[in-house]
Structure 1
Amino acid sequence: MKNTLRIGITIMLLCTKSFGQAFNNLPVLTQKPPLHGKHWMAVTGKPLAATAGAMTFSKGGNAIDAACAMLAATCTMWDVLSWGGETQALIYNPKTKKVIAINALGVAPTGATADFFKNKGMKYPPEFGALAAVTPGTPGGLMTILAEYGTMSLKDVLAPAMQMAEGYPIEAQTANSIEKAKEQIKQWPYSKKVFLPHLGSKYEAPEAGEIFVQKDLLETLGKLVKAEQQALAKGKSRKDAIYAAYDVFYKGEVAKEFVRGCQEQGGLITEQDLANWKVKIEEPTMTTYRGIEVYKLQQWTQGPAMLQTLNILENFDLKSMGYNSTRYIHTLYQAMNLAFADRDFYYGDPAFAPEEPMKGLLSKEYAKERSKLINPEANDPKIGPGDPYPFEGKINPYQDILKTWMGASTFSPKNNATYNTQFEEDFTAGTTSVEAADAEGWVISMTPSGGWVPACIAGNTGVGMSQRMQAFVLDPKENPFNVVEPGKRPRVTLTPSMALKDGKPYLSFAKQAGDEQDQLLLQFFLNMAEFDMTVQEACEAPSFKTLQMYSSFGKHERINGGLTLNEATPSWTRKDLGRMGYKINYQERTSGPINAIYFDWKHKSFWGGSSNHGEDYGIGW
């Protein structure tokens, strides 16, 4: 009887606009407790990596030092990223009181043209192998962030990761991923050497709990630390010494071996590609939502799509609809479709022509016009990109393409209730998140990714290469801003988030997975901004997903009207949405995985949140 009553109360609260306030008056119903801290907070996608952050804080490091230590640890664990991938970050600098954007995404190598891949019979660059690799960004990103904003040496920050490379007990999730992908891994000699210690056995991957040793990676990290320590011994500053290590990776002996191993396995990356690549410190994009400043990276990510969605949703009274009501789900779904259609056509690397119409896309006036397209009674499966050019005083040069635009291809499941396909795996693949904050005021939000299992390792470096090339398109009719070119960054899904309220940090938040990131980050933000949830409630609260947006991976497909709901969604909501034209499937957990830090200025403390969906974990003090 008690359990029945508890479930009834929970469902009732899920359907009311006072969800968060009501929860605060009941015993804690979250599956994980919220974290609390006064001095610092460290939250990330792996428990061992969160421990690396705590270790760094305990040695006197700031939030930047701790985040870099967590990043290094997650890269050493392979499940959703490795050292050859890419890193994106937003940093709040308490000295300037501004948010800074870090662009450590690799670029397409020499020879990577649309014609090159078309001549190989490809519709898109490949998902796996050396030809899928852009230049590695994470090592440079970590060292730049640490040099510019941290306080510790590279040696101290890499210490936990290097201990792990010496050998750490591998988790079942990663071990099973390796075993599942072992036939692909066997195609690449350096990957086979690292990942398959039990060749010839029935189970060839490391066993769960087995000490997983990475000698080549340990040697590579050791070379970086050696370069730093030698520079310090010569009287160089902490910052210059870290950049000496940077040069070893991108211009020195590590670069030479990386390129040799890449090209041996059919890749295109050259020594010049590595030497020419640079981390960019940029201005973020920003919009306001009911007075809250929300920050994202620029249009080389999908991040501005969340800002566009918020601009559209400002034209609706979401709170009156009720949390996860039929009307609420439908309105958010349609608003996201409008923004993501623009993402699919207009987003790309701003360093390359043509120039993306971001002023128009992010204008409140454009959002108001787009909001008028939402049919309150039914899903619109034909929604496409809008025309933002008039909202910045220009004429759209792609009007002819827009008239017939249908993006990539539309995937139609045989059974509308089941999407057990490669599509869903591609749609939600990869990535982790790193969140850190300290009492001095430094805040950082990261979404590193790339080089996940099955990774093709570049020679004897122990470094897995990125798979991010697949995010490019080859046909300008799909997206004229994101056609592959040498030196160009692909438009990626990776999207850290930060929000300021009354001029001070309010939220730092991010999540793993692919195209769904900004969908669930949007809902997390609204959970707090509109429905007064605590950060842990907001992390665990059931979300939904639209599949009516083109995947950035694999075959770049979409499912028109595809909607993923939580299994706890009431039957009346399911029926209503079905009548509105949605093709619905269900998942047990739809909460993320999201990691977040909330800044409690009333009590001068931190709240840490970590979703109950995955291995996300945090520590506060």
Structure 2
Amino acid sequence: MRRRTFLSTLPAGALAAGAVAAQASPQSPAAAAGPGPQGVRAYPYPGVGMGDRIMGAPFAGRSTVWGARGAVATAHPTASVIGLDILRRGGSAIDAAIAVNAALGFLEPTGNGIGGDAFCLMWDPAQGKVVGLNGSGRSPRGLSLEAARGKAGANGLLPRYGAVTANVPGAVEAWWAAHQRYGKLPWAEVLAPVIELCERGEAVPQLIAWYLERNMAVFDRATGIIEENDNRRRVFAPDGRTPRVGEVFANPDLARTYRLIAEGGRDAFYDGPIASAIEGYFRRIGGWMTRADLAAHRTEWVEPLMSTYRGVEVYQLGPNTQGLSTLQLLNVCEQFDLRALGFQSAASIHVQAEAKRLAFEDRARWFADPEFSRTPVERLISKAYAAERAALIRMDRPMDRVLPGDAPSQGDTTYFSVADADGMMVSWIQSNYRGMGGGLVPDDGAGGTLGFMLQNRAEMFALTDGHPNVYAPGKRPFHTIIPGFAVRDGQPWMAFGVMGGGMQPQGQAQIVINMVDYDLDPQEAGDAPRWQHEGSSEPTGEPAEGTGVLHLETGVPEATREQLRAMGWTLGPPNGGFGGYQNVVRQVNARGPATYGAASETRKDGLALAW
């Protein structure tokens, strides 16, 4: 889309706001000289914005990548190359997704790894439908609610790190289940390039180097609640420090673990040598997970939830994930003419943020493992309920207080999209939750380590009697990670996601709105300035903090900021928490075959490739 054409599609109000902003400050995250995210130095070039692009939206950092036979969009260039190579060798989109996820567990240990859980939405061309996979693990059966409460902090919540936060990792079983159903290449062949990668090492990019250093510093400050601290230092901070930008980092311990999985399949992890090593490690440090807990784990194929947004079918996974929040947010926004309100206008952002506040109160009240508590999904997802909730929104100021409807946090993650020549499209998300996980890297039973960190997802349990998400043995915690998928005119349209804790429903809704209401292409939709609201009630039992804080990226027009402040919003600075986005779209063309467009997050180290 030409820049002039793009601008002509925007409402007059948005153009006026943009004109004011252009006079006030450059529309670039680099424009501000003030403090950035915690730990990030101030930008040393005040007043300098982005360079000009001949075509497309002026805020887009690059173009959408197009191809006819397949596409991969991930958070690391090497992972994208590995995924594309799997496709070129005849592998399915699932084969490529498994290889990508395994590679990211090494390349991006700050966001994911085989110590965590995984979820997937995908278009199955044989069935002509979207299918879902829930790869989340359960809490150890030997850990009681009373023992969990004994580990709670002064705030009455579970700690961020340590053995009490570790539930069974579901990622490897999710790989296996998906490969058994959709894989084309042999299992060991899918993992072979990743094993070689872990052994030889890879140069560390900018953002991952920063997160590695930051995560290890956080763990070092929390050694009092982490039962064992030497193993993580051996793996991720050899010689006493984390790798710097451009230095080669290798993980031979993880390579050995991957080789066991390549040779023995999922049983090597859940009922074999890796399971025995994990059990021995928890026995040594005083934890609860056992080989029996691991052996009992199974991935679940589930029916996704679906709601429409202006005729587009949007799919999400149901509880124990927060996918329903994305659908609720969009359902409320659908009650307003966002196109007329204007792109990046105060009115549009106000409506979206208020919709988020409404959706997140229901999230805090209802979302939990459906085997332990029933979430009134039908009511919460209905258009009638959305209309009732939308009627609570005032256009002149934020709601003073938001309550859950009457019905019968921040984490690090990796997300990627893959599509193949057969029409299969995969939306996959995987995480250790808070940063790298809970700080625990298991021994391998032979003097080394397993090379990966266990997740701290169980931190998300509540400890309050009667709460749907209250901790129980053998229960899955509330999950923030959600893949997204959309279908248009009966055809698969996009496999998309925005990683990052509670930002995920907010970010996913913004992508859909940017593309449906404001006609942005996949890369433009991700590069557009984002908002993030913090301060809603949480499924852990934490209450809302007044009207919360609305964080805006620097590129949001200054006129919009002034109007939001005048409406009564408390605005926060850019905090680095606006998520990481990947997307693969399928385009039906008037001439020739359908093609794939791939987009990746300019805020991350990622890369989109297509062929």
Same topology, TM > 0.5: yes
Question: Are 2:592 and 1:584 equivalent residues in the alignment?
Answer: no
Q: 1:473 to 1:588 in 2, by over 3 A?
A: closer
For the residues of structure 1 that align with 2:431 and 2:270, how far apart are their CA atoms?
19
Contact 2:10–2:343, Cα closer than 8 Å, also in 1:
no
Question: Are 2:610 and 1:620 equivalent residues in the alignment?
Answer: yes
Letter in 1 for 2:231: Y
- Please name the residue that 2:414 is paired with: 432
In the TM superposition, residue 213 of structure 1 has moved relative to its aligned partner by 2.6
For the residues of structure 2 that align with 1:47 and 1:457, how far apart are their CA atoms?
26
Deviations 1:181-239 (A, max 9, x none): 4453674222222122113xxxx223333332322222221112223xxxxxxxxxxxx
- Please name the residue that 1:515 is paired with: 502
Q: 1:179 to 1:575 in 2, by over 3 A?
A: closer
Contact 2:522–2:583, Cα closer than 8 Å, also in 1:
yes
- Please name the residue that 2:535 is paired with: 548
Letter in 2 for 1:51: V
In the TM superposition, residue 590 of structure 1 has moved relative to its aligned partner by 7.9
For the residues of structure 1 that align with 2:484 and 2:65, how far apart are their CA atoms?
19
Contact 2:64–2:599, Cα closer than 8 Å, also in 1:
yes
Of residues 463, 470, 477, the one that matches 1:483 is: 470
**SS of residue in 1 equivalent to 2:112:** coil
Letter in 2 for 1:105: S
Contact 2:529–2:554, Cα closer than 8 Å, also in 1:
no
Contact 2:460–2:478, Cα closer than 8 Å, also in 1:
yes
Which has the higher mean CA deviation after the structures are superposed, 301-310 or 445-454? 445-454
- Please name the residue that 1:467 is paired with: 456
Letter in 2 for 1:86: D
Which has the higher mean CA deviation after the structures are superposed, 125-134 or 431-440? 125-134
In the TM superposition, residue 436 of structure 1 has moved relative to its aligned partner by 0.5
Deviations 1:422-446 (A, max 9, x none): xxxxx44300111011221101001
Which has the higher mean CA deviation after the structures are superposed, 508-517 or 126-135? 126-135
**SS of residue in 1 equivalent to 2:318:** coil
In the TM superposition, residue 16 of structure 1 has moved relative to its aligned partner by 4.4
Which has the higher mean CA deviation after the structures are superposed, 8-17 or 605-614? 8-17
Deviations 1:427-479 (A, max 9, x none): 443001110112211010011001743631111222310110111111146xx
In the TM superposition, residue 179 of structure 1 has moved relative to its aligned partner by 3.3
Deviations 1:585-621 (A, max 9, x none): 2329886421111211025111111122111211100
Please give the root-mean-square deviation of Cα atoms over the aligned residues, in Å: 2.8
Match runs of 1:347-426 below 5 Å:
347-352=367-372, 354-389=373-408
Question: Are 2:119 and 1:119 equivalent residues in the alignment?
Answer: no
Match runs of 1:205-354 below 5 Å:
205-227=242-264, 245-352=265-372, 354=373
- Please name the residue that 2:44 is paired with: none
For the residues of structure 1 that align with 2:289 and 2:143, how far apart are their CA atoms?
9
For the residues of structure 2 that align with 1:600 and 1:33, how far apart are their CA atoms?
16
Contact 1:91–1:100, Cα closer than 8 Å, also in 2:
yes
Letter in 2 for 1:34: T
Question: Are 2:159 and 1:140 equivalent residues in the alignment?
Answer: no
Q: 1:595 to 1:252 in 2, by over 3 A?
A: same
In the TM superposition, residue 120 of structure 1 has moved relative to its aligned partner by 3.2
Q: 1:267 to 1:599 in 2, by over 3 A?
A: same
For the residues of structure 1 that align with 2:473 and 2:326, how far apart are their CA atoms?
29
Q: 1:597 to 1:27 in 2, by over 3 A?
A: closer
Of residues 152, 174, 186, the one that matches 1:153 is: 186
For the residues of structure 1 that align with 2:94 and 2:311, how far apart are their CA atoms?
28
In the TM superposition, residue 13 of structure 1 has moved relative to its aligned partner by 8.5
Match runs of 1:41-80 below 5 Å:
41-77=71-107, 78-80=109-111
Question: Are 2:595 and 1:610 equivalent residues in the alignment?
Answer: no
For the residues of structure 1 that align with 2:214 and 2:424, how far apart are their CA atoms?
40
Contact 1:593–1:616, Cα closer than 8 Å, also in 2:
no
Letter in 1 for 2:232: S
For the residues of structure 1 that align with 2:543 and 2:82, how far apart are their CA atoms?
36
For the residues of structure 2 that align with 1:209 and 1:265, how far apart are their CA atoms?
35
**Residue ranges of structure 2 left out of the alignment (5+ in a row):** 19-51, 445-449
For the residues of structure 2 that align with 1:252 and 1:589, how far apart are their CA atoms?
40
Deviations 1:373-398 (A, max 9, x none): 11221111410101122xxxxxxxxx
In the TM superposition, residue 154 of structure 1 has moved relative to its aligned partner by 1.6
Contact 1:86–1:138, Cα closer than 8 Å, also in 2:
yes
For the residues of structure 1 that align with 2:424 and 2:366, how far apart are their CA atoms?
33
For the residues of structure 2 that align with 1:590 and 1:361, how far apart are their CA atoms?
27
In the TM superposition, residue 555 of structure 1 has moved relative to its aligned partner by 7.1
Q: 1:315 to 1:325 in 2, by over 3 A?
A: same
Letter in 2 for 1:444: V
- Please name the residue that 1:421 is paired with: none
Letter in 2 for 1:385: P
For the residues of structure 1 that align with 2:387 and 2:377, how far apart are their CA atoms?
16
Q: 1:320 to 1:484 in 2, by over 3 A?
A: same
Aligned residues: 553
In the TM superposition, residue 66 of structure 1 has moved relative to its aligned partner by 0.8
Letter in 1 for 2:211: S
Contact 1:436–1:444, Cα closer than 8 Å, also in 2:
yes
- Output the TM-score relative to the length of structure 1: 0.84
Contact 2:363–2:538, Cα closer than 8 Å, also in 1:
no
Of residues 481, 484, 490, the one that matches 1:497 is: 484
In the TM superposition, residue 246 of structure 1 has moved relative to its aligned partner by 1.1
In the TM superposition, residue 9 of structure 1 has moved relative to its aligned partner by 10
Contact 2:401–2:546, Cα closer than 8 Å, also in 1:
no
Question: Are 2:557 and 1:570 equivalent residues in the alignment?
Answer: yes
- Please name the residue that 1:410 is paired with: none
Which has the higher mean CA deviation after the structures are superposed, 32-41 or 168-177? 168-177
**SS of residue in 2 equivalent to 1:90:** strand
In the TM superposition, residue 558 of structure 1 has moved relative to its aligned partner by 4.7
Question: Are 2:472 and 1:442 equivalent residues in the alignment?
Answer: no
**SS of residue in 2 equivalent to 1:43:** strand
In the TM superposition, residue 170 of structure 1 has moved relative to its aligned partner by 4.0
- Output the TM-score relative to the length of structure 2: 0.85
In the TM superposition, residue 57 of structure 1 has moved relative to its aligned partner by 1.1
Q: 1:180 to 1:499 in 2, by over 3 A?
A: closer
Contact 1:337–1:383, Cα closer than 8 Å, also in 2:
yes
Letter in 2 for 1:100: V
Question: Are 2:211 and 1:174 equivalent residues in the alignment?
Answer: no
- Please name the residue that 1:418 is paired with: none
Contact 1:45–1:432, Cα closer than 8 Å, also in 2:
yes
Contact 1:551–1:558, Cα closer than 8 Å, also in 2:
no
- Please name the residue that 1:89 is paired with: 120
For the residues of structure 2 that align with 1:552 and 1:51, how far apart are their CA atoms?
38
For the residues of structure 2 that align with 1:384 and 1:60, how far apart are their CA atoms?
51
**SS of residue in 2 equivalent to 1:486:** coil
Contact 1:86–1:448, Cα closer than 8 Å, also in 2:
yes
- Please name the residue that 2:232 is paired with: 191
Contact 1:44–1:618, Cα closer than 8 Å, also in 2:
yes
Q: 1:35 to 1:298 in 2, by over 3 A?
A: same
**SS of residue in 2 equivalent to 1:619:** strand
In the TM superposition, residue 579 of structure 1 has moved relative to its aligned partner by 2.0
Of residues 432, 437, 440, the one that matches 1:456 is: 440
In the TM superposition, residue 326 of structure 1 has moved relative to its aligned partner by 1.4
- Please name the residue that 1:533 is paired with: 520
